[in-house]
Structure 1
Amino acid sequence: MEREDVELVQCVCNGAHCKNDKTCVGELCTYVVNHKTKQFEQGCTNASVPLIERRAIGSCMAPPITGAMHHNVAKDAQSLLAVESCICGTDYCNSEKPSISVPENEKCSAYVEVTTMGTTTRSKNISCSGEYCFTVGFFFFLRLS
């Protein structure tokens, strides 16, 4: 398996996950905001799905496409639709919400669907605009021996 060394960055840390620390060190910095509650958090993350998250560096997305892209601002699939997550990869790049400099001309429909123990829960559809529309699916299998 090919190994890639990743440089760590210093980030602003603000939220329940920070405890008393005002900074953190990680592979990426995050700025996450729930537009319904106006709650926001800043912090660090290590890429849980490196290919997706590394390609998304310097962008914001709603809803977040992986679990590493949000902290405590959403409690369920429905509230996750109001969450916008920004990730960046330079020191203290999350001190403010990054501004998007790319035209966001695509109109997309968005929803979150979760299947747990055979039960599927799907949020209502909303529309959003962005540079691209995307679909992300994750499948996890657990084998007990």
Structure 2
Amino acid sequence: MCKQIPELAPIAGKFPFVSMSVDDLFVSNRFLPTTGELFHYLEVRQAVAGIPKAMVFDEIDHLGAYIKRNRFDQDMKEQLETADMATWDGFSEVIDEYFTGDDRQSKPVPTQDYIRQRSLKYLARLTTHVRKDGWKSMRIYETLGANSESQSLQY
């Protein structure tokens, strides 16, 4: 568990270390197809990396926990209020089930079924605007007409 190695400190003293393989990124891209969804997942993933006593078995478990629980970093922090350590395992099941069998091309990709459609539109817009105009245009979008959009992203 690399969180227990003192030499692995947060980058610039601020950003917890996350190590992902290229294969894990390919799988993540299949389940989180928009830039906004991927950025949000990586934000949650990095938050979990910054909780020293929170352990998740592997990257696919992280992704599965995100799909099932979304802000699972907050769930883990809550568990640690009454426990010395939180270890999660088995969340990869939702990912494993998708890849089981020859019919995966026809199966729908598991998604976070509790996300509001409005939030999905906002996350999808990030894909378009980050590449074209950058974050500045998304800040204007958020300010001008979507006050509840930013709140709804806090699932």
Q: TM-score, normalised by structure 1?
A: 0.24
Larger Rg: 2
Larger proportion of helix: 2
Q: TM-score, normalised by structure 2?
A: 0.23
Larger proportion of strand: 1
